């Protein structure tokens, strides 16, 4: 049973750990939704869901609608077949790079419980030199549960369609500001938008309705952004996600640079969205007035929920903000709590500024 959260006592680190460790690949976000709901409920006036399972927590009952969207799902896998000797074939859910998968632990979720497995591949020692240079195809990978037959797997409750997630518990690193875990993309966003509700509940005046939204299936086409936006019908929106940190060795040239601990992300461009210019200017002004550092990001491929939110109806002024993260779309993503704190401060400052007159000016 989920523990009840006090409206006045709160631990962000505990919330983030619970969100990161819970399982929720695309199409199977219910457990994540329940954790986010548990934390958001004490600070919300209303909580509803869309019909695909997205969570919508509302604070404020009148005024323009400000949507803070973060996706619930994490990249994972789906079982597609059980071999005669008990290995599992799988379909990826979301964008995986094959090189980060071999020999990694995974958790297979069945109707009878959770099973620990290892992603297996052909050993490089047995590959011709030309194959070693090419790398591994995802289609050649499999999950090893230590079984000896298909019958054993069936007896354990495994069926095609069962989902699989990385096994990588949330861990504090030696640097006290930094943590590592699976699913930082985008449980950190879910934690941030929930934290904004908490901060607003501590006496911060905001001339609007704020919707902290956990969307579904972002990693497979940002599908839940469409349904959640149709429920909220926002006047202005912020998509909260991770940015790709470039502060590790041998990255080479990138259009922009993101460093852990140097501030949250302000996304200018990705394959699905260009920053709304008046809202971009408002965000810059708010950050400068509040002394909040930030970093720009330009991404040639990929995108966020903003790609669908901003084209809803007749258009929604939308901006993507986020947290720099190392090693995204892997078992072990690293973030810096200082960037998270600054992002929460930034969103609180922005919501306080977004009255009806200011929002109307964004589209003139």
Q: Is 185 annotated as a binding residue?
A: yes
Burial of 289 (0-12, 13-18, 19+ CB in 10 A): exposed
Q: Is 71 annotated as a binding residue?
A: yes
Backbone φ and ψ of 235, nearest 5°: -90, -30
Say whether 241 counts as a known binding-site residue: yes
Q: Of how many residues is the chain composed?
A: 364
Query: How many angstroms separate the CA atoms of 59 and 46, rounded?
Result: 7
- Measured CA to CA, the distance from residue 121 to residue 131 in angstroms comes to 13
Residues involved in catalysis: 218
Nearest to 212 by CA among 36, 8, 340, 4: 36
Rounded distance between C-alpha atoms, residue 4 and residue 60, angstroms: 22
The span from the CA of 110 to the CA of 333, in Å, is 26
345 carries a ligand binding annotation: no
The tokens for 141 are 């990978």
317 φ/ψ angles, rounded to the nearest 5 degrees: -55, 120
329 is in an annotated binding site: yes
* C-alpha to C-alpha distance for 156 and 150, rounded to whole angstroms: 10
Binding-site residue positions? 71, 185, 219, 241, 329
Q: Give the residue numbers of the binding site for Zn(2+).
A: 71, 185, 219, 241, 329
């Amino acid at each position: 049973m989920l523990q009840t959260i006090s409206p006045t006592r709160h631990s962000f680190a505990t919330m983030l750990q619970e969100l990161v460790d819970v399982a929720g690949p695309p199409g199977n976000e219910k457990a994540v939704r329940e954790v986010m709901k548990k934390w958001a409920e004490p600070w919300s006036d209303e909580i509803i869901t869309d019909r695909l399972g997205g969570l919508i927590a509302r604070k404020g009952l009148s005024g323009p609608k400000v949507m803070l969207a973060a996706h619930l799902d994490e990249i994972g896998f789906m079982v597609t077949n059980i071999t005669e000797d008990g290995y599992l074939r799988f379909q990826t859910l979301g964008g995986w790079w094959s090189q980060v998968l071999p020999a990694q632990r995974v958790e297979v979720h069945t109707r009878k419980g959770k099973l620990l497995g290892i992603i297996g591949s052909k050993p490089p020692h047995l590959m011709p030199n030309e194959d070693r240079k090419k790398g591994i195809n995802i289609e050649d990978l499999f999950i090893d549960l230590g079984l000896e037959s298909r019958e054993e797997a069936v007896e354990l409750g495994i069926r095609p369609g069962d989902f699989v997630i990385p096994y990588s518990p949330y861990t504090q690193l030696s640097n006290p500001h930094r943590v590592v875990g699976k699913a930082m993309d985008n449980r950190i966003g879910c934690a941030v938008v929930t934290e904004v509700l908490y901060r607003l509940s501590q006496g911060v005046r905001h001339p609007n309705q704020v919707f902290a939204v956990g969307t579904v299936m972002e990693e497979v086409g940002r599908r839940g952004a469409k349904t959640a936006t149709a429920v909220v019908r926002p006047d202005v929106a912020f998509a909260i996600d991770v940015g790709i940190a470039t502060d590790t060795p041998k990255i080479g040239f990138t259009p922009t640079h993101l460093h852990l601990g140097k501030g949250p992300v302000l996304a200018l461009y990705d394959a699905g969205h260009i920053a709304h210019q008046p809202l971009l200017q408002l965000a810059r002004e708010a950050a400068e007035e509040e002394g909040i550092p930030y970093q720009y990001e330009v991404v040639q491929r990929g995108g966020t929920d903003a790609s669908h939110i901003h084209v809803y109806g007749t258009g929604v002024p939308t901006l993507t903000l986020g947290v720099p993260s190392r090693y995204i779309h892997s078992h072990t993503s690293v973030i810096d709590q200082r960037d998270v704190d600054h992002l929460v401060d930034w969103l609180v400052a922005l919501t306080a500024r977004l009255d009806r007159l200011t929002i109307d000016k964004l589209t003139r």
